[in-house]
Structure 1
Amino acid sequence: MGVVTMAEKKIITIGRQFGSGGKQIGEALAEKMNIPFYDKELLKEAAKNSGICEEIFDSFDEKPTNSFLYSLVMDPYSLGFGNSTELPLNHKVFLAAFDTIKNLAEKDGSCVFVGRCADYALRDLDNVVNIFLYADMDDRTARIAKKYNISESKAKDMIKKEDKARASYYNYYTSKRWGEMKGYDICINTSKYGIDKTIDLLYDIVNNY
């Protein structure tokens, strides 16, 4: 198993289409590099540190919001929300998760984050590799249908809904566009390489980044 040394600190963020295998790949990559992995775990950490219950975090997790909240994130004081206690609940949730991502990255030095605008939260750091994973619709459909034991038709509907939610969340809370190639360092079609080869490929790339 590879181990990232102090001189090779790497933070990896993974954006992903629903059904592309992003979480599985992120977990395996973190294990192979012997560094922490954060996905749903991030919500628990944010809930613990903010005082907002975990269930509320879960309900707002990568869910679409509105353009007004985008303005709040960019400059809350300009809209009269100078006091954080006055912010809407979903805005508090986002900011708590945002701060947690930065704190965990600082604490761990090396780690893997999946989703939740981690690439944007860590945009000022030099040792971050931003990855986006996508896949062919047929492969995504088969993976989701098997995972949730649903029909392919329902799987496709689920994929469209989840991708739309992730894109809306990301596009409102960041200055980038979800899935747009120029916003990432590495974009990989997991259908072309498969899950295992994608993990190996990313491991080799990241260790030579």
Structure 2
Amino acid sequence: MEHKMVMTIGREFGSGGREIGKLAAQRLGLPYYDKELIVLAAEKSGLSPEYLAGLDEQSVSSFLYSFSGANFSMGMRSGSVNLLPPADQLFLSQSEVIRDIAAQGGAVIVGRCADYVLQEKGPHVNVFVQAPMRSRIRRVMERHELDQKAAEALMLKTDKNRANYYFHFTGEKWGDRKCFDLVLSSAIGIEPSVNMITDYYLQVEASLQK
């Protein structure tokens, strides 16, 4: 069966959201996009993938926080995009890529405010993956070979960057339940989490076909 819906996944650092998203995409037979979006955005913007990778989901200038996501992304004319800071140029390029992907059919897209970018672009499922701090720290320690103190510091810094990024471009609080269809804790395990979100995806898809 060919799936047409997009699944977006927001995730706390160390929650396993990226792994869950990749496994869900494999199970549903959908293309998976995460870091791949940087390469596609580079093609649109003309900036190098290496340069854009350094800007990806990083904290943005605080003086720009007064602009809502709607004012930022919808009110910007294409001719003025090059006047923006590089991180903002990247966001606009990635947003175009995300909308192009959604227009082509089903996919799993991790991060990049994809839930917001696609809010008026047809049916999609927005998922947010979280986990208890203890299990997140343990995962970060194992994955990055850090001690507990360093892992916790990296986790807090990354989450702060993601929260700033999300607020800057959407005007919404990162991880707010009202922005997502399904919020789950990966404390139940990676495989059960994959089961939950793929089952939910299929149920939503089936309901739309009735």
Is TM (by shorter chain) over 0.5? Answer: yes
Structure 2 partner of 1:142: 138
The answer as to 2:163 corresponding to 1:164 is: no
Structure 1 partner of 2:8: 13
Between the two proteins, what is the percent identity of the paired residues?
35
CA-CA distance at 1:10 after TM superposition: 1.3
The two structures, once aligned, show a CA RMSD in angstroms of 2.1
- What's the TM-score once normalised by structure 2's chain length? 0.89
Q: CA 1:84–1:62 in 2, change beyond 3 Å: closer, same or farther?
A: same
Structure 2 partner of 1:205: 200
Q: Which amino acid aligns with 1:169?
A: Y
The answer as to 2:93 corresponding to 1:96 is: yes
CA-CA distance at 1:86 after TM superposition: 2.3
Does the 8 A contact of 1:69 with 1:91 survive in 2?
no
Q: CA 1:69–1:91 in 2, change beyond 3 Å: closer, same or farther?
A: farther
CA distance in 2, matches of 1:207, 1:55: 36
Q: CA 1:65–1:110 in 2, change beyond 3 Å: closer, same or farther?
A: same
Structure 2 partner of 1:85: 82
Q: Which amino acid aligns with 1:179?
A: G
CA distance in 2, matches of 1:195, 1:55: 30
CA distance in 2, matches of 1:80, 1:44: 23
* Superposition map of 1:1-209 within 5 A: 3=1, 5=2, 8-70=3-65, 71=67, 74-75=70-71, 83-107=80-104, 109-191=105-187, 193-209=188-204
- Of 15-24 and 47-56, deviating more is 47-56
CA distance in 2, matches of 1:49, 1:26: 25
- What's the TM-score once normalised by structure 1's chain length? 0.90
CA-CA distance at 1:13 after TM superposition: 0.3
Does the 8 A contact of 2:137 with 2:152 survive in 1?
yes
Q: How many residues align?
A: 202
Q: Secondary structure at the match of 1:156?
A: helix
CA-CA distance at 1:117 after TM superposition: 0.5
CA distance in 2, matches of 1:121, 1:78: 14
CA-CA distance at 1:78 after TM superposition: 7.6
Deviations 1:78-134 (A, max 9, x none): 899962232222221111111111111112x10000001001110102311000000
What are structure 1's unaligned runs of at least 5 residues?
A: none
CA-CA distance at 1:148 after TM superposition: 0.8
Does the 8 A contact of 1:145 with 1:155 survive in 2?
yes
What are structure 2's unaligned runs of at least 5 residues?
A: 205-210
CA distance in 1, matches of 2:75, 2:203: 43
Q: Secondary structure at the match of 1:75?
A: helix
CA distance in 1, matches of 2:158, 2:75: 32
Q: Secondary structure at the match of 1:98?
A: helix
Q: Secondary structure at the match of 2:23?
A: helix
CA distance in 2, matches of 1:188, 1:26: 13
**Structure 1 stretches of 4+ moved >3 Å:** 67-70, 72-82
Q: Which amino acid aligns with 2:165?
A: Y
Q: CA 1:175–1:73 in 2, change beyond 3 Å: closer, same or farther?
A: closer
Does the 8 A contact of 1:72 with 1:79 survive in 2?
no
Q: CA 1:127–1:79 in 2, change beyond 3 Å: closer, same or farther?
A: closer
